[in-house]
Amino acid sequence: MIGTGNVGRTLARGFDEAGHDVRVGGREPDRPELVSWSAETGIEVIPLGDVVAGSDAVVLATAWDGTEEALAAAAGPDGSALDGMVVIDVTNPLGFTDRLQLVVGHDDSGGEQVQRWAPTARVVKAFNTVGFELMIRPDLPDGPATMFIAGDDEGAKAVVAGLAGDLGWSTHDCGDLRGARLTEPLAMIWIEHAIRSGERGHAFRLLTP
Ligand SMILES: NC(=O)c1ccc[n+]([C@@H]2O[C@H](COP(=O)([O-])OP(=O)(O)OC[C@H]3O[C@@H](n4cnc5c(N)ncnc54)[C@H](OP(=O)(O)O)[C@@H]3O)[C@@H](O)[C@H]2O)c1
């Protein structure tokens, strides 16, 4: 995990419980809150610059305005740690002016920006269309929700679909990474409903005949 916040910690627990070997990378791994979380969960929290080496896949779960810097730190001193790495981009490119909104969109996306910041990585957009509380085993009364994914590398997308499946998701492939232009606005519908209703237990499901 790149990121020690709500998403990083939730997905870390989910993948840990699913049997994966997980480490969380943060700027301040010795922060007391993280030390006690690590003791409680048994999941290591380590410096960002050490988290990618030896991993098979990396989750990017940072605040948008820190994402470029976090990627640079995670790429290591010579910038090569992310070469060929599956990077699961959970970020949403949010900013606040007069309202909370996407700061990238229509003919570009946060996912594509992440790929430009980490050009040798295999970026797959995923997990960005649901609140962190429902990222693990999204069983709702009407059935399981759908995880929308997008990425240029078919092999990387297969890895992410498998990992999402381990957490109880069925995935819908939105095509190449330009599909993030669709899934990031979808996240805004999720956020808009959360703000208006005060609830966070909703998720999207693609209904097919
Ligand atoms: N919350 C949700 O339900 C949800 C759902 C889907 C997608 N997302 C997206 O997922 C991302 C993470 O959300 P979150 O709720 O986990 O946020 P969060 O709890 O606020 O955590 C943000 C994380 O970003 C890290 N960060 C910020 N600037 C950084 C920098 N320059 N270098 C390294 N790390 C940096 C923070 O590190 P420090 O702890 O060191 O400050 C923290 O670990 C966001 O892009 C969000 O839009 C969130």
Q: Given this model, what pLDDT does residue 142 score?
A: 84
Rounded to the nearest angstrom, the distance between the alpha carbon of 109 and the centre of ligand 1 is 17
- Tokens describing residue 159: 């890895």
Q: Given this model, what pLDDT does residue 30 score?
A: 98
How many percent of the chain have pLDDT more than 90? Answer: 95
Residue 97 binned pLDDT confidence (cut-offs 50, 70, 90): confident
Residue 16 binned pLDDT confidence (cut-offs 50, 70, 90): very high
> Does residue 173 register a pLDDT over 90?
yes
Residue of 35, 62, 94, 136 to mutate, ligand 1, most atoms within 8 A of C-beta: 62
Q: Given this model, what pLDDT does residue 48 score?
A: 97
Residue 139 binned pLDDT confidence (cut-offs 50, 70, 90): confident
Going by alpha carbons, the residue nearest to atom 31 of ligand 1 is 66
Going by alpha carbons, the residue nearest to atom 7 of ligand 1 is 128
Residue 143 binned pLDDT confidence (cut-offs 50, 70, 90): confident
Tell me which long-range contacts 3-9 makes (C-beta under 8 A, separation of at least 24): 3/59, 3/60, 3/61, 3/62, 3/70, 4/29, 4/31, 4/34, 4/45, 5/61, 5/62, 5/63, 6/132, 7/59, 7/61, 7/90, 7/127, 7/132, 7/135, 8/59, 8/61, 9/37
Domains plus CATH for the chain?
A: 6-197 (3.40.50.720)
> Does residue 170 register a pLDDT over 90?
yes
Ligand 1 atom with the smallest distance to the CA of 64 is 45
User: Averaged over 139-151, what is the pLDDT?
Assistant: 92
Q: Given this model, what pLDDT does residue 8 score?
A: 98
User: Averaged over 109-134, what is the pLDDT?
Assistant: 98
Using CA atoms, how far apart are residues 117 and 67, in angstroms rounded to an integer? 9
> Does residue 100 register a pLDDT over 90?
yes
> Taking all residues of the chain, what is their mean pLDDT, rounded to a whole number?
97
Q: What digits encode the pLDDT tens for the residues 36-87?
A: 999 999 999 999 999 999 999 999 999 999 999 999 999 998 889 999 999 9
Going by alpha carbons, the residue nearest to atom 5 of ligand 1 is 131
